[in-house]
Amino acid sequence: MDSILSAVGSYVTWDVKGLLIFVVVFILTADYVKNRQPASFPPGPRAFPIVGNLFSVDYKRTHEYMTQLAGEYGNVYSLRMGQTWMVVLNGLEILKEGLVNQGEGLADRPDSPLQMDVGHGLGVITSSGNLWKQQRRFALSTLKYFGFGKKSLEPIILDEFTHCANVFNDYKGKPFKPHLILNYVVSNIICSLVFGHRFEYGNEKFLQLMKWFDQGLEIEGSFWAQLYNSFPIPMRYLPGPHQTVKQIWKDTMEFIGEELKEHKQNWDASDPRDYIDCYLKEIEMTKGQADSTFDEENLVMCVLDLFVAGSETTSTTLRWAFLYMAKYPEIQEQVQAEIDREIGQSRQPSMEDRANLPFTDAVLHEIQRMGNIAPISLPHVTNRDMKLGGYTIPKGVTIIPNLTSVLFDKDEWETPFTFNPKHFLNKEGKFVKKAAFIPFSAGKRVCLGENLARMELFLFYTSFMQHFNFSMPAGVKPDMDYRFGITLAPAHQYEICATPR
């Protein structure tokens, strides 16, 4: 009897083992078949079954990791993140070939599970197809109507600087953290365009909004976001920072919803005050049109996109600017001497002054280059089979434009890893913008707010240099380390001394 039971137990044990072996072999085979790519697909590091290269990437310096891989696999190579294939584009020529020459094939965004769960494919940044075209066209035309990138916006920017300067002056040269103040300053410009009003710096809701943006963008560039996008079904139910970022954007949309509610109570279609009023008018005008993408849900997402894109990158650039000026006081002195000579202290700067401030302009561009605010831009997706760099990339593959590979290319810049304003000056000392300067990306999905950002950066930076000397607190050296996220920001909320000139 014991021998019979032993034989049965042995059979069951081997039967379970056999089943497990079969399941494992089946999963691995299915994974291989599903993720098999044509022979002409770009090469890349070896991918593990199921997870691909998900655990190989250094998420604290993703842009540097991707740039290093280009040295091994070439300017067009592939990564597999879970079940998603990505192709990383490196170098100016390859990025131009993909984003500009074949821009129509890369005009769409991938359906990122995290973004889809938050924004449902709406808005103007992560949307695609007809929806994106309608929303981008409307946003550009409407914001231009309210002075976007035009001289009429200068007084608003300069007035906001005055509010900021008053806060800086209150510290009387003593150390303070400029992080949130700069967020307020820059965000208030987009608030004026979108909401029709600015917020006082002490406003609690506004303060919370700035903190949400900062935290949300850091999480979205982290391992947790990539894990969510690779395995969305289990991650939707598991705890972690990915749940925090979903709550952040939900709370932000509720904040925007309150602004929308107030607008609807007293708006006049014949006299729109801001972007929201114009959008409400567009909803009314396109009601009943089959192809219209204008509704209140899309309005909220578009405002969120404009808010984030129109504030975080510019304020982060200014934070880098303060650090670089404190690190290189001799360059700060040269900038101030040029401003004093061309503008003086009695009037505010204007965009017309830019042509007469070549060194100042060169320094600002070098801050943007070294700051590398959007190191790997935002992802694109192929909407048809494409040829890039001699390789075949099928439809539906995510494309990562590695802007870092261009902004720090030793073939494009004399001293790529050294802060050097001469990168943007010719032998006569005149400003020269180089083709490899692409901090706003390129092609059809080039940053929507590039013109606004360029205006804000010049006017704010020039005004700061005109009125203040920036230095680190006694005994403190500038920390140039970064924190990787959707944007590349200074690693710490540093303290700075802004001494009135």
pLDDT tens digit sequence for 215-229: 888 898 889 998 999
Task: Place 273 in a pLDDT band, splitting at 50, 70 and 90.
Answer: confident
Nearest to 163 by CA among 208, 200, 211: 200
Percent of the chain as helix, strand, coil, to the nearest 5: 55, 10, 35
Predicted confidence at residue 413, as pLDDT, reads 97
CA distances from 88 to 365, 380, 381, 406 (A): 25, 10, 11, 13
- In angstroms, what CA-CA distances link 276 with 157, 264, 296? 20, 9, 10
Tell me whether residue 3 is exposed, middle or buried, using C-beta atoms within 10 angstroms of its C-beta: 0 to 12, 13 to 18, 19 or more: exposed
Q: How high is the pLDDT of residue 476?
A: 95
Q: With the C-alpha atoms ordered 388, 389, 392, 397, is the resulting torsion angle positive or negative? A: negative
Q: Is residue 475 part of a domain?
A: no
Domain of residue 292 covers 121-165+177-358
Q: Is residue 349 part of a domain?
A: yes
Among 225-229, 260-264, 268-272, the minimum mean pLDDT is found in: 268-272
| CA 345 to the chain's CA centroid | 35
Residue 85 included in any domain: no
- Give me the residue label for tokens 């209150």: 170
CB 286 within 8 A of CB 314: no
Nearest-angstrom CA–CA distance, 253 and 449: 20
What residues contact residue 110 under an 8 Å CB cut-off, 6+ apart?
Answer: 84, 379, 380, 381, 398
Number of neighbours of residue 25 by Cβ within 10 angstroms? 10
How far is Cα 371 from Cα 481, in angstroms, rounded to an integer? 10
What pLDDT sits at residue 492? Answer: 87
In the chain, what is the greatest distance between 2 CA atoms, to the nearest angstrom? 106
What would the mean pLDDT of 269-280 be, rounded to a whole number? 88
CA dist list (Å): 189 to 147, 192, 210, 221, 277: 11, 5, 14, 26, 17
**pLDDT tens-digit map of 325-374:** 999 999 999 999 999 999 998 899 999 999 999 999 999 999 999 999 99
Q: Give the gyration radius of the chain's Cα atoms.
A: 26
pLDDT of residue 8 exceeding 50:
no
- In a domain, residue 431? The reply is no
Give the pLDDT score at 24. 63
pLDDT of 449 over the 90 cut: no
Domain of 220, CATH number, reads: 1.10.630.10
Residue 34: which of 43, 22, 47 has the closest Cα?
A: 47
Distance from the first to the final alpha carbon of the chain: 99
Does residue 198 register a pLDDT over 70?
yes
Rounded-to-integer distance, Cα 64 and Cα 407, Å = 12
- pLDDT tens across 314-333, in order? 999 999 999 999 999 999 99
CA 157 to chain CA centroid, Å, is: 22
* Integer CA distances (angstroms), 118 to 68, 83, 123, 301, in order: 32, 21, 11, 9
Instruction: Name, in order, each residue with C-beta under 8 angstroms of 215's C-beta and a sequence gap of 6 or more.
Output: 244, 245, 248
Secondary structure E strands in 254-401: 380-381, 386-388, 391-393, 398-401
* Number of domains into which the chain is organized: 1
Considering the domain boundaries, does residue 338 fall inside one? yes
Looking at the domain assignment, is residue 347 inside a domain? yes
Determine how many CB atoms are found less than 10 A away from the CB of residue 137.
11
439, part of any domain: no
Label residue 279 exposed, middle or buried (CB < 10 Å: 0-12, 13-18, 19+).
buried
Task: Give tens-digit pLDDT for 401-433.
Answer: 999 999 999 999 999 999 999 999 999 999 999
Q: Is residue 340 part of a domain?
A: yes
Mean pLDDT, range 450-460, rounded to an integer: 93
Query: What are φ and ψ of residue 195, in 5° steps?
Result: -95, -20
Whether pLDDT at 5 is above 80: no
Where does the pLDDT of residue 143 fall: very low under 50, low under 70, confident under 90, or very high at 90 and above?
confident
Residue 392: count other Cβ atoms within 10 Å of its Cβ. Answer: 14
pLDDT for position 419:
98
- Number of alpha carbons in the 13 Å side-chain half-sphere of residue 268: 3
In whole angstroms, what is the distance from residue 136 CA to residue 140 CA? 6
| pLDDT the model gives residue 50 | 83
Question: Would you say 419 and 370 are in contact if contact means Cβ atoms under 8 Å apart?
Answer: yes
Q: Determine the Cα–Cα distance for residues 270 and 272; give it in Å rounded to an integer.
A: 6
